Amino acid sequence: MPSLSATGKLSLLGGVTFALGGLLGAVDALTTAGTTVLAGLGFAWALTVPLPRRMRRERLEFSWWIVEGVRRADHPVTVRVALRNPTDRTLTLGAPRLSLSPGLRHARWKGSRVEIPAKKQGIFDLEVRPGHAGRHVLHGAWLTLGGPLGLTWAPLYFPNPLVLEVGPRSATASFRRTTARPQPSSKVGRSTRREGEGAEIRELREHQPGDPFHRIAWKATARRGRLMVRETEDDAQTTRVIVLDAGPAMRGDLRGGSKLDYATELIAQACKLSAIAGDPLGLIAFDTRITAIVQPSSQPSHFQSLLSQSLEQRMLVDEDLTDVDDEQLEELIARYFREQEGLIIRTGVGGRERLAQVAAEATRRDPLMRIPVRAKDETARILRAFCRARAIPLPLRYDSSGATRLRGLEAAMRAATENAREPRTVIVLSDLDPFDDGDALRSAFSTGQGRGRRHRVTVVAPMGGDFVPTSDKRDASTIRDALLQDERLRVEGLRHGLSKVGVPLYFADKRNPFAHWLARASAPRIAQKRR
């Protein structure tokens, strides 16, 4: 329905004031003036009502596209809008409002009102800001069309989904998603010798300022009469596997501040470092089961595919992972088409197939529809794939007991190290929620270390105030602090248990880059125990 503009609201206020003043003061002139203003305003409003239908009939054309440039999280993206005016009069358009997927917000409008001359095309720019990396969708745009004398506005909605693929902040170039699956590489990891803290002696040399005290070779010092220092070396394990926790506890903040967003940034940094050094990098993602496997490789195209796989973990839609039944799923998608396209599709028996048909037709060219989805039948597969293609998030199923999550973790650790012909550095990015049993976790991580514990396993747990939205309310802040304290105590208990099997656990905040955790993970076990 039409709404009043600022001028229209002032006219309404003035008309009501005149009419009431005339009635109270028995001044016929004021009453007549107020009545005339209100009547004119009502007439203008009535003339505005058919404008949306008229614009559809005369085919007011709307199109938009993303201007080439950087597409990274927290970086503004310019969207260019083109409107062709087929009418014989100049159209005045007001500020647009966008229908956006979660995690995307309208930053600002570059300009004021737009006037499009008759039979001409008008072009203007919008800015949107993605909060996190991954897929975003601009579902449509609301524009207001000026009515007679600028007293009213007529709402116009243009449903025209526009997909925006956004890379992490650490991406070296503008991100482009690839649906190709990484192929296993015949190249295995290699080990090089480096100076380090290992047990094998590289050389003896004289002490220099800054040398650690524990490196002093006391027997050699006694024999030679001067301080001597041991130089040791260690195997630099360059085959790395990241085990990513894609469970519900890693999510929550759609503005880009969740633990999963931080883990994605670390994976992007790992891809960059591995590409520069030519080191193989792999990825295992898990929830209650393994959700993605990328075998280690160092091929140039491999890192882009690996990063795409990590971003896909934001949009898990499989039936066994999500907490949405068939009825809720159908209602969700039916409401989407009702609000976006004005299509009323009944759900339930008979309407389910029609809904899937409309969803498949709307996304027939989207490559994400071809990615496998676990569902009980083809109709459910199409509906769930549609949610992923249109960036409609489905809540994940939460296992408070941790039993199914533990099976997923064990499977991920086994996949990260099994059949490996070389020692690997395995970095687990997880807050280990809801685990509180250190014995069960020790069993899972012992599996991942392999025979002889030749693989190095490190747990990096994103946690703390960086990943919890702040609140100005005193009660909310108190509850937030209590929850953070409970989380830290729980993970502290797990840290003590994991240390018994040689698996260090570190608390992470957003200031720590991947290079920091790689240095911790690659450090010799002697140094790890001292920490």
- Check the CA dihedral 163-167-172-175 and report its sign: negative
How many Å from the N-terminal Cα to the C-terminal Cα in the chain?
A: 66
E-only strand ranges, 29-147: 61-66, 77-84, 91-93, 97-100, 104-110, 114-116, 121-130, 134-146
* Mean pLDDT score, 435-450: 77
Nearest CA to 134 out of 293, 272, 309 is that of: 309
Cα separations (Å) of 218 from 199, 215, 225, 226, 227?
Answer: 16, 9, 10, 10, 8
- Domain check: are 363 and 422 in the same one? no
- Strands (E) in 248-405, as ranges, are 281-286, 290-297
pLDDT value of position 129: 92
Confidence at residue 177, expressed as pLDDT on a 0 to 100 scale? 57
Q: How far apart are CA 526 and CA 524, in angstroms?
A: 5
pLDDT digits (tens, 9 = 90+) for 295-348: 999 888 899 999 999 999 999 999 999 999 999 999 999 999 998 888 888 887
Structural domain contains residue 447? yes
pLDDT band at 448 (very low <50, low <70, confident <90, very high): low
In a domain, 292, yes or no: yes
In a domain, 65, yes or no: yes
Same domain flag for 274 and 413 = yes
Q: What is the band of 437 on the pLDDT scale with cuts at 50, 70, 90?
A: confident
For residues 306 and 402, state if they share a domain.
Answer: yes
Residues 35 and 149 occupy one common structural domain? no
Does residue 421 share a domain with residue 379? no
Closest among 317, 314, 311 to 179, alpha carbons compared: 311
Res. 185: pLDDT tops 70 = no
Whether the predicted pLDDT of 508 surpasses 80: yes
Handedness of CA 520, 524, 529, 531 (dihedral sign): negative
**143 neighbors 93 (Cβ within 8 angstroms):** yes
In a domain, 449, yes or no: yes
What pLDDT is stored for residue 172 in this prediction? 59
Q: What is the pLDDT of residue 282?
A: 96
Strands of 121-130's sheet in order across: 61-66, 77-84, 121-130, 104-110
Rounded percentage of the chain residues whose pLDDT exceeds 70: 87
Structure tokens at 516: 């920091």
Cβ–Cβ under 8 Å, residues 152 and 140: no
pLDDT for 34 beyond 60: yes
| Partners of residue 393 on adjacent β-strands | none
The residue-averaged pLDDT of 263-286 equals: 93
CB 423 within 8 A of CB 239: yes
CA distance 522 to 269: 16
Of 94-108, 134-148, 297-311, 398-412, least confident by mean pLDDT is 94-108
The band of 455, judged by pLDDT with boundaries at 50, 70 and 90, is: confident
* 352-367 pLDDT per residue, tens: 899 999 999 999 999 9
- The mean pLDDT value for 508-528 works out to 78
Token reading at 76: 């503004």
Give Rg (Cα) of the chain.
31
Looking at the structure, do residues 480 and 334 belong to the same domain, yes or no? no
Task: Output the pLDDT for position 499.
Answer: 85
Q: Is the peptide bond before 159 cis (omega within 30 degrees of 0)?
A: no
Do the domain assignments include residue 357? Answer: yes
Residue 320 lies in a domain: no
The confidence score (pLDDT) of residue 341 equals: 84
Provide the pLDDT confidence category of residue 525 given band limits of 50, 70 and 90: low
Residue carrying the six token digits 């579902």: 139
88 neighbors 118 (Cβ within 8 angstroms): yes
Average pLDDT, the chain: 85
359 plus 471 within the same structural domain: no
Which CATH number is 119's domain given?
2.60.40.10
pLDDT at 175 over 90: no
Report if residue 173 sits inside a domain.
Answer: no
Q: What is the rounded distance in angstroms from the CA atom of residue 292 to the CA atom of residue 345? A: 34
Q: Indicate the residue among 234, 260, 286 that finishes a domain.
A: 234
In this predicted structure, what is the pLDDT of residue 373?
Answer: 95
**192-216 confidence digits (pLDDT tens):** 444 444 445 667 888 877 677 777 8
For residues 141 and 75, membership in a common domain is answered with: yes
pLDDT tens readout for residues 483-503: 888 888 888 889 888 888 889
Query: Distance (Å, rounded) from C-alpha 310 to C-alpha 430?
Result: 14
Rounded to an integer, the average pLDDT of 371-383 is 94
Query: Considering the domain boundaries, does residue 179 fall inside one?
Result: no
Residues 214, 245: one domain?
A: no
Domain range for 21 is: 3-49
**Same domain for 303 and 435?**
yes
Q: Are residues 375 and 259 in the same domain?
A: no
| Predicted pLDDT at 483 | 85
348 phi-psi bin (left φ>0, alpha ψ -120 to 50, beta other): left
Contact yes or no for 356/369 (Cβ under 8 A): no
- Match 């550095």 to its residue by tokens: 425
Task: Compute the distance between CA of residue 429 and CA of residue 407 in angstroms, rounded to an integer.
Answer: 17
Give the number of domains in the chain.
5
Averaged pLDDT, 159-173 = 85
Are residues 435 and 505 located together in one domain of the fold? Answer: yes
67, pLDDT greater than 50: yes
DSSP-assigned states of every residue in 267-305? HHHHHHHHHHHT--EEEEEESSSEEEEEEEE--HHHHHH
Q: Which of 3-12, 128-137, 446-455 has the lowest mean pLDDT?
A: 446-455
